Amino acid sequence: MQMRVGGKEISSADERWIPVINPATGEVIDQVPEGTLHEVDEAVSAAQAAFDSWGKKTVRERGMILHRAAGNVREQHQELARLLTMEQGKPLRDAVDEIRGFANILEFFAGISGAMNGDFIALGSLGDALVKREPIGVCGAIIPWNMPAIIMGWKVAPALLAGNTLVFKPSSSAPLTCLSLASLLELSGLPPGVLNVVTGKGEVVGEGIARHPAVRKLSFTGERATGYRIQELARSQLKDLSLELGGSDPMIVWKDADIGKAVSGVIKGRFYNAGQTCTAVKRLYVHHDIAKEFVVRLKNKVEAIRVGNGLDPGSDMGPLSGKPQLDNVISFVNTVEKKGQGTILTGGNVMTGGTHGKGFFYAPTLVTDTTPECILLQQEVFGPVLPVVPVNDLETAIAKANSTPYGLGASIWTNDLSVVHEVFSSVAAGMVWVNRHLTIPPEIPFGGVKESGIGRENGISAYHSYTRTKSLLLNW
């Protein structure tokens, strides 16, 4: 597939290509241009040229285009989901949910469009004020490979609704769904140049967007280290930055929890998308009184997870999204074993041969008897590996939950309101779930604290973050 700039398909100035590999088979399924700074400049110019007329449309006119696009995405969800599974690996039914999730996000923002007015403020003897919300201009968006459609929706929908134009960079390992969605948005009436997609390497295209002086706001989702690099690149410019970074979400299961529901919550919370979700359950703390029974029931369920090609309807969990991700998980588990930081209760191995062929599959893994230094409790593991730690009291559970540099999400499993209250007020996180984990509805602001980032996706506040207020004071 080609890049999309100014409403046209273009290739790279130096005619180099990046292969897109199906992680379930190791086979090349397509290729995208390895973009250069030349294409970044072209995309910024196209976005600048499109800004004037796009920014002058009413919010509702822009919302209607998003609404039409949502309908077209829903019509084509099967083809889009198949493409997503083939480039990223998640089971087809989860890919269908993700594509529908993209449509949901467009619909949410289209739905609020008629109500996005400015403010009128009566100031008595000072007169009256009008506060208008204007778009910022050309914005940049850079996203990872793990949930490309959803994360694209989080950025594209509020940015475009607010009247900005965009230079968007998908990850090189999962660019195809994003390119197809961009083309569908244009077929739904988005004018050329409003959304430009440049493919290529992070160090070239990503840095080119982050450095570009005409890009007034940049919204990034990805690793913490990349977020720091982007902040450094943008430091010499007055660029508005939103950084959605990594997470190491704790799940706390209290002694009164419904064990069956909580076990199912872990299966979805940790093993959905082969563990490659920013808000996956990355550390599990279970009350001592129920820990033994909990671990036995969890182990049974984990061992029943069917790992295979996402296109096979019998698969519950697909491969890791690529070799670097697989190598990363292997290295974490090796460290645990070599340093005696825990016991591998189940899993702990690469899955090859048979139906797993040359894909990048890793077995769902539970680690118990962890030492306090265990690397799985300190760092973000982007894969299907879960440390399970018993805790005796709430104070300890909360202290452990807060013991990493991250603060993205957290969940508490209980029916005791005082426990919910204590966790909600004391755990450092942008989102706390009660008796669930992972769900991120477009209505709710989402983002991290501490090293998990700055800024928020979703909700009306995301729309506001893509606008600037302009005030008019009327002295009658």
Supply the residues annotated as catalytic.
155, 244, 278, 457
24 vs 245 by CB, closer to ligand NAD: 245
Instruction: Decide: 288 and 2 in contact? Cβ < 8 Å.
Output: no
Tokens of 440: 């991120």
Q: Are strands 385-391 and 350-351 parallel, antiparallel or unpaired?
A: unpaired
Spatial distance between the Cα atoms of 146 and 150, rounded to a whole number of angstroms: 9
CB atoms < 10 A from the CB of 422, how many?
16
Tokens of 469: 């207020």
CB atoms < 10 A from the CB of 250, how many?
28
Q: How far is the CB of 1 from ligand NAD (least distance, A)?
A: 16
247 vs 390 by CB, closer to ligand NAD: 247
180 vs 414 by CB, closer to ligand NAD: 180
348 vs 453 by CB, closer to ligand NAD: 453
Helices (H) and strands (E) in the chain, counts: 14, 22
Instruction: Decide: 409 and 420 in contact? Cβ < 8 Å.
Output: no
- DSSP assignment of 177-241, as one string? HHHHHHHHHHHTTPPTTSEEE--S-IIIIIHHHHH-TT--EEEEES-HHHHHHHHHHHTTTT-EE
54 vs 154 by CB, closer to ligand NAD: 154
Q: How far is the CB of 125 from ligand NAD (least distance, A)?
A: 47
Count Cα atoms within 13 angstroms, Cβ side, for 126.
Answer: 8
Q: How far is the CB of 272 from ligand NAD (least distance, A)?
A: 13
Instruction: Decide: 465 and 154 in contact? Cβ < 8 Å.
Output: no
Q: How far is CA 6 from CA 39, 45, 68, 256, in A?
A: 11, 9, 20, 57
Q: Would you give the distance in Å from CA 449 to the centre of its chain? A: 15
| C-alpha dihedral sign at 153, 154, 157, 160 | negative
Q: How far is the CB of 178 from ligand NAD (least distance, A)?
A: 10
30 vs 223 by CB, closer to ligand NAD: 223
Give the start-end residues of each E strand in 245-280. Answer: 249-253
Spatial distance between the Cα atoms of 287 and 94, rounded to a whole number of angstroms: 31
Position of tokens 């118990």? 368
Give contact residues for ligand NAD (rule: CB under 6 A): 142-146, 151, 169, 171-172, 202-203, 206-207, 210, 221-223, 226, 229-230, 244-247, 278, 380, 382, 408, 448, 453
Helices (H), 304-385: 323-338
Closest to 90 in 3D by CA, of 250, 228, 277, 354: 277
86 vs 230 by CB, closer to ligand NAD: 230
Contacts of 79 (CB under 8 A, 6+ apart): none
Q: How far is the CB of 397 from ligand NAD (least distance, A)?
A: 23
Q: How far is the CB of 134 from ligand NAD (least distance, A)?
A: 26
Closest to 157 in 3D by CA, of 116, 198, 210, 215: 116
Q: How far is the CB of 399 from ligand NAD (least distance, A)?
A: 23
286 vs 410 by CB, closer to ligand NAD: 410
65 vs 245 by CB, closer to ligand NAD: 245
Spatial distance between the Cα atoms of 441 and 33, rounded to a whole number of angstroms: 33
Spatial distance between the Cα atoms of 453 and 65, rounded to a whole number of angstroms: 31
